[in-house]
Amino acid sequence: MADTMQFDLVSPERRLVSGLARAVQIPGADGDMVAMPDHAPAVTTLRPGVLSVEMDGATQEFVVTGGFAQISPEGTSVLAEEALPKSEVTADFIDERLTKAQAAHEAAEGDAVDTAAKRVSDLQALKDAL
């Protein structure tokens, strides 16, 4: 079993990190999960939350607002809707996304109501955690 795996975190704006990681904690839509070397293949959607990656003897944290993670025995790739280093996230950044999510929830109809309510809840939890 290898000690590290390839890890890539990208958003539409930029590549945030690429390198060898020991573990990646992912805020999955159905709950947090940890990807490690030799992990079984999986694909998951992301919920708004904090993604942590253990690389080079340190832990780096990033805030993601959604997207997908693809996990394989060789590595993990995260394609985030938006991603920023946790240190760069401001209250205004979270408040803007929360306001948009609340408006989407109010406008939602049918099956979309539950999805919109979950996004509001996830963003509020992220705000509280930060």
pLDDT in tens, 5-45: 999 999 999 999 999 999 999 999 999 999 999 999 999 99
pTM: 0.91
pLDDT 10s digits, 119-130: 999 999 999 988
- In terms of phi and psi (left: phi > 0; alpha: psi -120 to 50; beta: otherwise), the region of 52 is beta
Domain span at residue 119 reads 90-129
Q: How far apart are CA 24 and CA 108, in angstroms?
A: 33
Q: Provide the mean pLDDT of the chain.
A: 94
3-state secondary structure of 14: coil
Same domain, 57 and 115: no
Q: Are residues 70 and 100 in the same domain?
A: no
CATH code: domain of residue 12: 2.60.15.10
Residues 97, 58 within the same domain: no
CA distance 45 to 42: 10
- Count up the domains in the chain and report the number: 2
